[in-house]
Amino acid sequence: MAAKESSESRNQARLAILELANMISVPMSLNAIVRLNVPDAIWQSGSNTPLSASDILSRVLPSGGDAENLQRILRMLTSYGVFAEQIDSSGERKYSLTDIGKTLVTDDEGLSYAAYVLQHHQDALMQAWPLVHEAVKDSTVEPFVKANREAAYDYYVKDPEMNELMVKAMSGVSVPFMKAALEGYDGFKGVEKLVDVGGSGGDCLRMILQKNPNVREGINFDLPEVVAKAAVIPGVTHVGGDMFKSIPQGDAIFMKWVLTTWTDEECKRILENCYKAVPEGGKVIACEPVLPEESDDSHRTRALLEGDIFVMTIYRAKGKHRTQDQFRQLGLSAGFPRFRVFHFDSFYALLEFQK
């Protein structure tokens, strides 16, 4: 029998659906505090002193603004763990950064997760979100293409600002991951020439070369417009091209966050080109989000499933986050008989496809 409208379970259900229906407030407020540069303003060389919204406002908008509205945003994001709130004896609310908030602070290398937040909420990407249902009705054209008449990577590379933000967003997320992965992985032993497919600005390759002096030559391979802007990195040659046509030869291929955005058929083509580019016994080292088999409400599973819908909406309606077994099958379909998985991180796994 259905529960009464006044029962606790019905009450909780009504509350939960209201929370979900208003959820857009969360990413858009996160985007707002990044645009306003709030995390750097609170951090100020590591002080992280709790500040009132008025104090923060005077740092980020010296010409003035609405402190009460800033406080409303800070308060809501406090409930998502981005800020910590203290209420002093006079009733004034003060905010500092939690560990989550600190991921948005610009580090010594000029990086943080802030660029990723901004990249995901640019106008062209936002236009695609009301069209998620279209990916169900017709998965041959992605919502991003329906909204912008062009595929996302084609769109980014035509706009220097979008291109630059994409590279910065990738660096901000990939550098901390690579620091952790390189501490625990010794699979670059014996590799002298390494190709990074879809290497963006070349940060991953730079870090691999620093940690593994045996890797003497790095090829950072990405779209011509992307590598044209890449900074000089000792030992690394930037090469522009199209991974669907061919991939430069190397002892091994590194590839991070690339397979996820493409369909199974496209991944097979990329991996087949990798297969042609490495010698017998050579390998592809891929870092990709890997979905758990079971669904649950943990932060990890949510981050992975939310990312899956992002891929469906922006990159390929049939591009996807995959399970370990789906990656194994992709490798087999391109001719790689051996497959191993390493877990150094909650979001990405390191996958080895061996020839």
Ligand X SMILES: C[S@@+](CC[C@H](N)C(=O)[O-])C[C@H]1O[C@@H](n2cnc3c(N)ncnc32)[C@H](O)[C@@H]1O
Q: Report which of 219, 197, 214, 223 is spatially closest to residue 288, judged by C-alpha positions.
A: 197
Residue with tokens 């690394």: 236
- C-beta of 221 vs 336, nearer to ligand X: 221
Nearer residue to ligand X within complex by CB, 135 or 274? 274
Q: How far apart are CA 120 and CA 335, in angstroms?
A: 35
Among residues 77 and 115, whose Cβ is nearest to ligand X?
Answer: 115
Q: Which residues lie below 8 Å from residue 308, measured CB to CB, with a gap of 6+?
A: 291, 320, 321
Report the half-sphere exposure of 94 (CA within 13 A, side-chain side).
Answer: 14
The SS3 of residue 5 is coil
> Would you count residue 198 as binding ligand X (CB under 6 A)?
yes
- Nearer to ligand X among residue 199 and residue 282 (C-beta): 199
Q: How far is the CB of 167 from ligand X (least distance, A)?
A: 7
Separation CA 290–CA 308 (nearest Å): 10
Euclidean distance between CA atoms 281 and 263, whole angstroms: 26
84 strand-pairing partners: 96
Neighbours of 98 (CB within 10 A): 16
Q: Within positions 135 to 194, which residues make up the interface with ligand X, using CB under 6 A?
A: 153, 170, 174
Answer for which of 103, 200, 220, 273 binds ligand X (CB under 6 A) is 200
Nearer to ligand X, 80 or 342 (CB): 342
Candidate residues 115, 181, 223, 290; the one interacting with ligand X per rule CB under 6 A: 223
CB of 227 to ligand X, least distance (A): 9
Q: At its nearest, how many Å lie between ligand X and the CB of residue 30?
A: 20
Q: How many CB atoms lie within 10 A of CB 313?
A: 22
State in angstroms the smallest separation of the CB of 3 from ligand X: 45
Q: Is 258 in the site for ligand X (CB under 6 A)?
A: yes
Q: Which residue number, 97 or 166, has a Cβ lying nearer to ligand X?
A: 166
Supply the minimum distance, in Å, between the C-beta of residue 133 and ligand X. 25
Q: Should residue 256 be labelled a site residue for ligand X when binding is judged by CB under 6 A?
A: yes
- Does position 243 bind ligand X by CB under 6 A? yes
CB of 6 to ligand X, least distance (A): 49
User: Residues with Cβ < 8 Å from 269, sequence gap 6 or more?
Assistant: 244
Spatial CA neighbour of 104 closest among 127, 81, 123: 81
Residues that bind ligand X (CB under 6 A): 153, 170, 174, 198-200, 204, 222-223, 226, 242-244, 256-258
